[in-house]
């Protein structure tokens, strides 16, 4: 993924010393624009004129930018029961994946300049958390009042350095009190996502670092898993509490890769909380 836009996004320009590479020897030679159309009432008298205008310069800039996709893998492994006021969904990017991305790219540091946090209609809060050596650093982006209609690229007030061994977690908070049935992850706005698109430099081979629950604690044949889960009574609080706790007891499945990223075996592991969670400094109000 090179460029991403969502509702509420405004024009974005890289700093003068930074840009995406186009037409270079290691670049793609064609691009595809994918547009998701939401027409729930099936109106037939609408003409779409969506598009993206990209400005290209012949003046080579000092740094080549990249985009790193973080969060929860998009698909039915993301489960949001109905009637939940503050349901937390988490997507991990492990330190092993980040370290391998640096190794394959022969880098020792990247700097994140901004990001887009993306969820769907049930999302009410999003935080992209940053960890190093067992301690939690200041969140990359923190939006406790996420609004689907305002998904602009947030330029960070100060570039954030990332080193080999750092890790991330994207936390999405959902309010599903208006839903009567189970909501799953997916491309439709009636489904859900929990993603962060981070703009950074210099570009590395790692392009995505995401996870999903492994559901191993259920002891259900994977081929029957989603059928069996969909048959549960998701309006029953006891059932919901049991299902969510069982998901959280299990491992997560980590995927990391990219077009030029050498294949790495899928990781399964139990995530741990940081030994030293981030504590925001006291407010300095006068």
Question: Domains of the chain (ranges plus CATH)?
Answer: 61-269 (2.60.120.230)
pLDDT of residue 286: 65
What is the pLDDT of the chain when averaged over all its residues? 91
pLDDT of residue 265: 66
pLDDT of residue 67: 95
Helical ranges in 29-158 per DSSP H: 95-105
CA distance 190 to 182: 11
Output the pTM of the full model: 0.92
Q: Is the dihedral of CA 175, 176, 182, 185 positive or negative?
A: negative
CB contact set of 225 (below 8 Å; sequence gap of 6+)? 215, 218
- Listed residue (152, 176, 179) closest to 88, CA to CA: 176
pLDDT of residue 24: 84
pLDDT of residue 233: 92
Peptide bond into 278 cis (omega under 30): no
pLDDT of residue 75: 92
- Listed residue (214, 286, 204) closest to 255, CA to CA: 214
CA distance 161 to 145: 26
First to last CA, the chain: 44
To which residue do tokens 């969502």 refer? 6
| Residues of the chain falling short of pLDDT 70 | 265, 286
Question: Which structure tokens are listed for 63?
Answer: 């740094």
Beta strands of 163-260 (E only): which ranges? 167-174, 183-184, 194-201, 208-213, 252-257
Task: Please tell me whether residue 98 adopts helix, strand or coil conformation.
Answer: helix
CB contact set of 31 (below 8 Å; sequence gap of 6+)? 2
- Give Cα 247 distance to the centre of its chain: 19
């Amino acid at each position: 993924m090179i460029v991403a836009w969502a509702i509420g996004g405004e024009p974005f320009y890289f700093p003068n010393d930074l840009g995406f590479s186009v037409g270079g020897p290691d670049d793609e030679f064609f691009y595809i624009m994918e547009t998701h159309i939401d027409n729930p009432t099936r109106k037939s008298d609408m003409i779409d004129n969506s598009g993206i205008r990209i400005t290209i310069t012949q003046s080579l800039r000092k740094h080549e930018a990249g985009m790193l996709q973080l969060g929860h893998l998009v698909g039915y492994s993301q489960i949001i029961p109905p009637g939940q006021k503050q349901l937390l969904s988490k997507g991990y990017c492990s330190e092993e994946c980040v370290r391998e991305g640096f190794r394959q790219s022969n880098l020792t540091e990247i700097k994140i300049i901004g990001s887009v946090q993306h969820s769907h209609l049930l999302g009410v809060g999003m935080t992209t958390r940053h960890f190093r050596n067992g301690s939690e650093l200041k969140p990359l982006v923190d939006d406790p009042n996420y609004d689907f209609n305002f998904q602009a690229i947030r330029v960070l007030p100060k570039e954030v350095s990332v080193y080999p061994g750092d890790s991330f977690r994207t936390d999405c908070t959902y309010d599903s009190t208006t839903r009567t049935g189970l909501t799953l992850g997916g491309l439709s706005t009636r489904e859900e996502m929990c993603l962060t698109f981070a703009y950074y430099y210099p570009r590395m081979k790692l392009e995505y670092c995401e996870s999903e629950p492994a559901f191993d604690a259920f002891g259900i044949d994977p081929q029957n898993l989603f059928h069996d889960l969909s048959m549960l009574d998701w309006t029953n609080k006891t059932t919901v509490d049991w299902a969510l706790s069982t998901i959280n007891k299990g491992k997560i499945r980590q995927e990391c890769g990219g077009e030029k990223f050498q294949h790495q075996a899928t990781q399964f592991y139990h995530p741990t909380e940081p030994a030293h969670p981030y504590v925001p400094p006291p407010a300095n109000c006068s």
